[in-house]
Structure 1
């Protein structure tokens, strides 16, 4: 029994030792796995997985990484040397190839975009890790894998003509630019001017001086701070465009821009004027980009034909960072989590080309699209795509422009005959949406509009008599074309109506429908006789850019209108700080333009958007303008 008990005790002791050793080995294995799990490691973009805040402009998810690196291969990135800030020149240039292109070019383009996004991620990760408290292990693991990315898609009628903020003229280019870039000031939803990059400002109306203080938390997409030098270089780059008549509106009134310190800049105007702040809604580009885009040798040779060639995407400081594109059908951006006005709720913002008039069934692919005038939103496509329609008063207008540099359109009698042959009420009825009939160049509800002015009334008989009289006096009237764009069904119908009305007056005319980009090229080159096109007026009634005869001021003078009296009134209206005085000036200007008829003023349509049901809470301004992107928060 004794021996038997000893063996039993020994066996029990050995068993306990084995169990203890097994437990220790298991514990060691668990510790090793835990260490591996929580150890910082670099993913494809150089982001530290143990700190999800460090990444592209401050935040990133595994889902994002797969989206931006679909091949699963490591992308080249621009690294910092010895902690030095990433320079603007070291960021790869982002080139957009216009039009349809093959898989090879598309792949190269997207590699370029991905490489830049990766570079931005690398440059911002160190700074973000220092400024942001390190996440707990729970945050670093589970928040990454469980976060659901918020994607948003906006439909646009055509691919942007350019991403150069100083050259953009068309609405789709400006939409893309508003996502990438920030300005010194901006308009809020109620049309009040508020700060963007500018935290505050002081205006000295006696000396015509404006002083801006730039936000300390304003950064470029690569993490470098926005400085007063950037603002100055943007102005100087834009000023160099005066040689070609491409200078952005209003900058001609600036005498000097002076850097006070890194975050303070002073602007001296030629005289005090009403738009001292409004002009600084101009997108700001970094100093290096400004010099690269418009050195003297480029700006001096810039022509209308070469605008399309300058298609690089400069680095911005706005709410979104360029990510992917095929250069023809879509353009995707990712959230800039360092954005100075707040972290955007939308992770991926895509602009997608959709011709809603021809393919309304594609509405289910988008969250937001501005509907063209004349498009019927009552079809079942909207309900099937879970879309609803919102309507706003707008600063848009529909005008028929004449090219006054061509005969016989240079003759006022001929323009008047064409105007009274057009039944504006009939065109308005066919528009299919609410609109305000125009009585001149200013918006119908604007304080600048002269209520006592009446445009010539529809009278086809008098139109025929006037045209016959012109022919009898020996003026040759050649056949001519009416140009309009293919994205707006109402304009196409209206152009056909114009052709019929003028044909009934004894004229020979035809309609030519062009893609928007091609139409813009023809307008810029003054290669047209008559063009029907929409126009977006500025928030301020100053219309120097539309009617002034100087090419450096009249950037959008489509009709090539020239009038010394109008030039004088424009300059007086710009320099007056009294609303009453400006009202009187613009009423006189209104009278001249209603008499001269450089174009037929049709109406101001209401702006309509189709919006997805999950995006009902989007913040759109009083005129339907797109504001406060960082506050847009669609439901997922």
Structure 2
């Protein structure tokens, strides 16, 4: 028994070590590994992170009117047996765009001027400005209008009992224990091979490794230190997968501290030994970070990397009027220079990165401490050990993260030039224009840092060797999300 559900001995079951979920709401929340099993978008991403058909079998773009027209698959059923139609698509995107719903994903669709349901299986989106990443954003999970119309898109009980069109149906949710999914035998892209997928809730990294070792789990994303213990262990396969997932220190510009001390941020950037953190915390499974696009074709390697330079950091501090005290820390206007980095609970790697950076900054005279609050205070905290990154179009996780007042801009960062360059880049389909715009964006972000970028982390998945079909070449996204992109093709060998 697991989470109150009995497992058919003849059925193939995959048990995945998952973080906890309070809801499954892909329209409002940006991340969720489970979404791709339950839902579909109009488009999807393949193993090379390129756009391919999903619920839309084809589409065309009219440049003159800036209109995308999608032709939808017919005969697709929701998990409750109702028909999927274009009205569901219109409902979903309009719900995301509605400012009253507070969706993190709203900036992706802010260019949408009009949505027209032409018939049950044809829908068009007229944009008021070009958005070259629009097809990427149409991977958004489509939700059923017949179950959500009139519901609160943040609080509806639907998000505890989600119904999708995807390859797996949610059949049971034992809170804090397990989410149980059974295969959708009528899946429009073909019946999955694995009968049942169980997201077993294991929030502690050490417990996850122990349960992987004991055989309770079949697949898990482990810390680098835990994953290395499985390298030579019989019956297990380690997948050390590249990601676009970076870590850095987010400065909360809504906090008065940074209004008064923004000029010390370059010193903080120079005071972090990124390579040492990659080696000590990630065991070399990652790389130093200097910007948000290092896994993207539009990355500019020529921007300031802020390579570790403690002497330069001290020079900057002294140039802005800070003086060293007898205790080895810098002071400004009689106040000790320092701040607190908050880290979300349950992510030991982030805690270790934050503590390593804090120790390095103490060594140059900035009194930095780390705390792990039960609840993150986005408005009041001083700094946060942030993680972002997208393996898709460069617009993803830049425009909405660094653009003024955008949905995922949790730092309160605002820079008019950054806004200008990101807008120019998203509105052009000319690679040279985009390259120049993103180069200017990265240069400006280096001059006026929103974050102190620290490292990119690899995704260290460990699986029982009986699981076949995992694509280890795919670049993973934030939180290592993406491994399930081809779950329907996986098999479990006896």
Following superposition, the deviation at residue 615 of structure 1 comes to 0.2
Task: Tell me which of 279, 282, 287 is aligned to 2:145.
Answer: 287
Mapping of 1:617-632 within 5 angstroms? Answer: 617-619=469-471, 622-624=474-476, 625=482, 626-632=484-490
Which residue in the other structure is 2:327 paired with?
A: none
CA RMSD for the aligned pairs? 2.7
Which residue in the other structure is 1:239 paired with?
A: 97
1:526 maps onto 2:387 in alignment: no
Contact 2:90 2:115 in 1 (8 A): yes
Which residue in the other structure is 1:185 paired with?
A: 43
1:417 maps onto 2:279 in alignment: no
Which residue in the other structure is 1:500 paired with?
A: 359
Contact 1:201 1:213 in 2 (8 A): yes
Q: Distance in 2 between matches of 1:508 and 1:309?
A: 45
Q: Secondary structure at the match of 2:228?
A: coil
Following superposition, the deviation at residue 538 of structure 1 comes to 4.7
Following superposition, the deviation at residue 308 of structure 1 comes to 10
Which residue in the other structure is 2:21 paired with?
A: 160
Contact 2:50 2:392 in 1 (8 A): no
1:260 maps onto 2:118 in alignment: yes
Following superposition, the deviation at residue 501 of structure 1 comes to 2.5
Following superposition, the deviation at residue 427 of structure 1 comes to 0.8
1:218 maps onto 2:76 in alignment: yes
Contact 1:164 1:311 in 2 (8 A): yes
Mapping of 1:463-474 within 5 angstroms? Answer: 463-468=313-318, 469-471=320-322, 474=333
1:544-603 Cα offsets, whole Å, 9 max, x none, are 1111103xxx22212211011111111111110111110000000000001111111122
Contact 2:27 2:103 in 1 (8 A): no
Q: Distance in 2 between matches of 1:275 and 1:242?
A: 24
1:371-403 Cα offsets, whole Å, 9 max, x none, are 23x43423259726x221012221211222111
Q: Secondary structure at the match of 2:342?
A: strand
Following superposition, the deviation at residue 486 of structure 1 comes to 4.4
Q: Secondary structure at the match of 1:422?
A: coil
Following superposition, the deviation at residue 332 of structure 1 comes to 0.7
1:558 maps onto 2:410 in alignment: yes
Task: Tell me which of 474, 482, 502 is aligned to 2:341.
Answer: 482
Q: Secondary structure at the match of 1:365?
A: coil
Task: Tell me which of 129, 154, 172 is aligned to 1:324.
Answer: 172
Mapping of 1:270-349 within 5 angstroms? Answer: 270-294=128-152, 311-349=159-197
Following superposition, the deviation at residue 482 of structure 1 comes to 1.5
Q: Distance in 1 between matches of 2:64 and 2:420?
A: 22
Following superposition, the deviation at residue 264 of structure 1 comes to 0.9
Mapping of 1:420-439 within 5 angstroms? Answer: 420-430=270-280, 431-439=282-290
Following superposition, the deviation at residue 428 of structure 1 comes to 1.4
Q: Distance in 1 between matches of 2:287 and 2:399?
A: 23
CA distance 1:395–1:409, change in 2 (3 Å): same
Which residue in the other structure is 1:250 paired with?
A: 108
Following superposition, the deviation at residue 164 of structure 1 comes to 1.4
Which residue in the other structure is 1:547 paired with?
A: 402
Q: Distance in 1 between matches of 2:59 and 2:77?
A: 19
1:350 maps onto 2:198 in alignment: yes
Q: Distance in 2 between matches of 1:558 and 1:289?
A: 31
Q: Distance in 2 between matches of 1:434 and 1:180?
A: 31
Contact 1:344 1:629 in 2 (8 A): yes
TM-score by length of 1: 0.69
1:169 maps onto 2:18 in alignment: no
CA distance 1:316–1:613, change in 2 (3 Å): same
CA distance 1:309–1:508, change in 2 (3 Å): farther
1:570 maps onto 2:422 in alignment: yes
Which residue in the other structure is 1:591 paired with?
A: 443
Mapping of 1:110-125 within 5 angstroms? Answer: none
Following superposition, the deviation at residue 460 of structure 1 comes to 2.2
Contact 2:468 2:491 in 1 (8 A): no
1:362 maps onto 2:211 in alignment: yes
Task: Tell me which of 405, 410, 414 is aligned to 2:254.
Answer: 405
Following superposition, the deviation at residue 217 of structure 1 comes to 2.8
1:455-500 Cα offsets, whole Å, 9 max, x none, are 2232223434444544466385575322224444333222222222
Which residue in the other structure is 1:441 paired with?
A: 292
Unaligned residue ranges in structure 1 (runs of 5+):
1-62, 71-144
Q: Distance in 2 between matches of 1:152 and 1:214?
A: 31
CA distance 1:338–1:291, change in 2 (3 Å): same
Q: Distance in 1 between matches of 2:157 and 2:78?
A: 24
Whose helix fraction is larger, Structure 1's or Structure 2's?
A: 1
Contact 1:433 1:605 in 2 (8 A): no
Following superposition, the deviation at residue 447 of structure 1 comes to 2.2
Q: Distance in 2 between matches of 1:459 and 1:486?
A: 31
Q: Distance in 2 between matches of 1:455 and 1:497?
A: 19
Following superposition, the deviation at residue 190 of structure 1 comes to 1.9
Following superposition, the deviation at residue 511 of structure 1 comes to 1.5
Q: Secondary structure at the match of 1:277?
A: helix
TM-score by length of 2: 0.88
Which residue in the other structure is 1:536 paired with?
A: 389
**Of 390-399 and 458-467, the range deviating more from structure 2:** 458-467
Q: Distance in 1 between matches of 2:256 and 2:149?
A: 41
Following superposition, the deviation at residue 607 of structure 1 comes to 2.2
Q: Secondary structure at the match of 1:377?
A: helix
Following superposition, the deviation at residue 69 of structure 1 comes to 8.1
Contact 1:375 1:490 in 2 (8 A): no
Q: Distance in 2 between matches of 1:368 and 1:340?
A: 26
CA distance 1:274–1:489, change in 2 (3 Å): same
Q: Distance in 2 between matches of 1:380 and 1:439?
A: 31
Following superposition, the deviation at residue 227 of structure 1 comes to 0.2
Q: Secondary structure at the match of 1:345?
A: coil
Which residue in the other structure is 1:13 paired with?
A: none
Which structure has more relative contact order (CA 8 Å, sep 6+)? It is 2
CA distance 1:506–1:433, change in 2 (3 Å): closer
